[in-house]
Structure 1
Amino acid sequence: MKNFSTLLYATVVLALSSCGMNKNGTQNSTDAADFPATVAVDSLAEKGLFAKMSIKDTVKVGELVELKFTVYNDADTAQHFCKWHTPFEPFISKYLDVQSESGEEVNYKGAMAKRVMPPPAGSYMAVNSKDSVSVTVDLLKGYDITKPDKYTITYVGQNMSGLIVKDSISFVYAKQ
């Protein structure tokens, strides 16, 4: 049994050490079809991709709660990211934490899709060199924001998309 455990450990170490390398020992290119099922959080940031969120400081009850999500590419070449768990797809996963000022989490009311792994090539979006892509979504379609309060939004979809949003954002949902 001890020999089997040692052999299993050695096989796992060998397999993991060869992930992401090609025959000459260099890192594979960033081709959307070759992306892993989940992307290491720092890997896309190292390649020049990062994201930012923005929202109006004050939104009146009855108005749309529009969140703008922008992905930037600072690299010298086009880069790809998985659009799953980002606003670039409809609300079919919970990729944001929305909390009231008292720390109460706002309920997510969107769908929760089961996914085929690894993501197919069509699940990736390209961002040209030194360019950005943006999308705006109404948070009321995916989150149960009903009472006036100050809310903080944190992006939590980085394990699937690989995108990092360093800062959370806040807005006041105010009576008219």
Structure 2
Amino acid sequence: MKNFNILLYAAVVLALSSCGINNNSAQNSTNLADSSATAALDSTAEKGLLAKMSMKDTIKAGELAELKFTVYNNADTTQHFCKWHTPFEPFISKYLDITSESGEEVDYKGAMAKRIMPPPADSYLPVNSKDSISITVDLLKGYSITKPSKYTIKYVGQNMSGLIVQDSISFIYAK
């Protein structure tokens, strides 16, 4: 039984370290999430990578709900980020939390890919020094936005991509 506990502990530590989390002591899940977010923020700040989202203020039924996602490199050298859990690999995983003004979460209807760890080299995209790259995706292809409401979008893929989007954005979906 003791060997099983040691193996289980080793497997958990290995799994967490492959995701970029360094956990040297037992912590509760809240502290682990906080340290993970802090580590990702520190790593992104060190790299000089910053991501921002934008879209139209009002989307009418029948229109595309286009989200523009831009990654900026403020560093003096080319930087890389993992495209997993970003719009650069759209709707292969849930990387956005979208909620209505009543607090109801919008259902994600895209695929949920299983991943090997660590990500292979072709999973990383370069951003040249002092440059940016952007992509636009139609949120209606991956999320069930059907009711008129004001919606708030928060990026939640930072643990995989290493990108931090500090601000959420909002839009109104109108019939």
**Fold similarity call, TM over 0.5:** yes
Query: Post-superposition shift, 1:90?
Result: 2.5
**Residues 11-160 of structure 1: matches in 2 within 5 Å?**
37-38=19-20, 40-42=39-41, 43-160=43-160
Aligned length: 148
Q: Which has the higher helix share?
A: 2
Q: Identity across aligned pairs (percent)? A: 77
The 1:166–1:118 alpha-carbon spacing in structure 2 relative to 1, beyond 3 Å, is same
Unaligned 5+ runs, structure 2: 22-38
Comparing 155-164 with 40-49, which one deviates more in the overlay?
40-49
Partner amino acid, structure 2, of 1:159: N
Query: Post-superposition shift, 1:38?
Result: 4.0
Query: Post-superposition shift, 1:117?
Result: 0.7
In the other structure, the counterpart of 2:172 is 172
Unaligned 5+ runs, structure 1: 20-35
8 Å CA contact 1:38–1:161 kept in 2: the answer is: no
Q: Give the TM-score, by structure 1 length.
A: 0.78
8 Å CA contact 2:19–2:159 kept in 1: the answer is: no
Query: Post-superposition shift, 1:96?
Result: 0.1
RMSD of aligned C-alpha atoms? 2.2
The 1:59–1:113 alpha-carbon spacing in structure 2 relative to 1, beyond 3 Å, is same
Partner amino acid, structure 2, of 1:57: D
For 1:98, what is the secondary structure of its paired residue? strand
State the distance in 1 between where 2:20 and 2:157 align.
10
Partner amino acid, structure 2, of 1:174: A
Q: Give the TM-score, by structure 2 length.
A: 0.79
For 2:137, what is the secondary structure of its paired residue? strand
8 Å CA contact 1:72–1:131 kept in 2: the answer is: yes
Structure with bigger gyration radius: 1
For 2:144, what is the secondary structure of its paired residue? coil
For 2:64, what is the secondary structure of its paired residue? coil
In the other structure, the counterpart of 2:24 is none
